[in-house]
Amino acid sequence: MRLSLVSAFIYVCGALAQSGSVSSYISTESPIAKAGVLANIGPSGAKSSGADSGIVIASPSSTNPDYLYTWTRDSSLVFKALIDQFTTGADTSLRGLIDEFISAEAILQQVSNPSGTVSTGGLGEPKFNIDETAFTGAWGRPQRDGPALRATAMITYANWLIADGNTTFVTNTVWPIIELDLNYVAGNWNQTTFDLWEEVDSSSFFTTAVQHRSLREGITLANAIGQTSVVSNFETQADDLLCFLQSYWNPSGNYITANTGGGRSGKDANTVLTSIHTFDPAAGCDVVTFQPCSDKALANLKVYVDSFRSIYAINSGIASNAAVATGRYPEDSYQGGNPWYLATFAVAEQLYDALIVWNQQGELNVTSTSLAFFQQFLPSVTAGTYASSSSTFSTLTSAVKTFADGFVLENAQYTPSDGGLAEQYSRSNGTPVSAVDLTWSYASALTVFAAEAGTTFASWGAAGLELPSTCSAGTSSGTVAVTFNVNATTVWGENIYITGSVPALQEWSTSTALLLSSADYPIWSITVDLPASTQVQYKYIRIYNGQVTWESDPNDEITTPASGSYIENDTWR
């Protein structure tokens, strides 16, 4: 529904009026969103006929696009939202549905599929048919976020069961499912993966972060039920994941690079979704885990949001410090490359989460990293810590609340009168487009509405985490000399270049890619100083008469040594 002129006036007039408008939208949309989620689950769902018990369909849309499948990622995020409602007492009727989800996922884990069997990589399979059979068509596989997200959802339920006196059920039924997923995470986190948009095969910030969270939670659960044999390995891998997580930060751009590959800017809703799905209210504004109110997460949010201000017609004329509709990433062209309801809600949710923590802490910290974010609302603000009793704290938190509300109102403006939430809405006129009744869209409404109300959920163990003194995956301050040799036959005038995932390899740029020497043709060679103890992805490219040709997928990958030098010998693919 489009905002009326009165609503538009209220929107302009400030935080209190906007909050009222948001409250009205939440009051109307919340039951619709909840019903939308439930309609897409199992055989009794109003729009999921044909789905097996406990199976979440992504959308009832079966053509252009065909989303009548069950994705491990989507299903796990949806059930995490429902499990949070159940375990906090918000909806005690959900237990039967949750148990059906547990049973369905136990079956899916054992289904052999194009990614493998349960013991040979099959847990990384992204989607299945809704009758719990394997989808065997071409697809972006594997996707390694699903097992981590499924484990997190089930661990939340397991912790509630233990508190309710059902430890035996956890140990015998739930833990074996969780353990399979966590062993997959621990054994495969440092392998490439298709990102959550199923397009880029590299390493993904979202995937790394949710994998890290799942292992930390798994360690606590394993200790609680006496399954301690896995703990040492999980601790080692979790430490390495936390180290690697730091490598996505782009200090020159002041944002988080979503993927190590793909050739895009890296400005992506992936990073905002990471912030809200790894939110731990006990961790404060911890920067190591990129908590919602951390300076890096806030700086990233500004860069991400700003990247959509000028590319969507519906954002035209909106002030540079006001909310706009946002999508997956600015280069997106899928279904026309439009705003997504879940992406725009995610921005609001990160901001609401930040407000929760600032109010809990009784102070707000502005650093040089987050300064540009805060200066949107108070240009005169400087780096420093501002107590809740200060006028600066009041001014900034009020402005951030108005900003957050604005993103909810953006979605409200383009929500049709029946409250249905599709996947996207048109960048030109706001009409809903792509898959109708997207389950993840409805779930994202439920989670942002909970955050707006100040609701928080149990800590997952982010509080007090410190980076190991020696990180094996990307935080060493030293460099090592890496020589790249590639055997490549060329025509006269054609040259071979290299570009890759770290600044020393030009962060996937083709315009500034590094030229290799042909002195030992057909071996082309270059030596580059790269960060020590770091996972690095790269590709060779050919440039001839200005035309760029990339090597075929997948990306090449090395982990640099802690010291000394390294030689990598490749052949052009």
Annotated binding site for substrate: 139
Helix (H) or strand (E) holding 531: strand 523-531
Q: Are 297 and 305 in contact, with CB atoms under 8 Å apart?
A: no
Residues in the chain: 573
Catalytic residue among 105, 145, 195, 332: 195
CA 104 to chain centre: 24
| Active site annotation includes 331 | no
Which residue from 102, 407, 455, 145 is spatially nearest to 279, judged by alpha carbons? Answer: 455
Neighbours of 316 (CB within 10 A): 9
3-class DSSP state of 515: strand
Backbone angles phi, psi at 509, to 5 degrees: -75, 140
Given 91, 99, 179, 198, the catalytic residue: 198
198 tagged catalytic: yes
Instruction: List binding-site positions.
Output: 139
Output b/e per residue, 259-269; b: 16+ Cβ within 10 A: bbbbbbbbbbb
Structure tokens at 568: 């990598």
Full DSSP string of 129-166: -TTSPBP-S------TTHHHHHHHHHHHHHHHHHHTT-
Question: Tokens 């279904």 correspond to what residue?
Answer: 335
Nearest by Cα to 412 from 402, 401, 425: 425
Q: Among 208, 241, 239, 235, which Cα is nearest to 223's?
A: 235
Type of residue found at 120: T
Please give the Cα distance from 239 to 139 (Å, whole number). 31
- What are the backbone dihedrals phi and psi of residue 500, each rounded to the nearest 5 degrees, phi first? -165, -160
Query: How far apart are the C-alpha atoms of 34 and 31, rounded to whole Å?
Result: 5
Residue (of 518, 519, 516) closest to 527 by Cα position: 516
Closest CA to 153 of 107, 102, 118, 219: 102
**Which residues carry out catalysis?**
195, 198
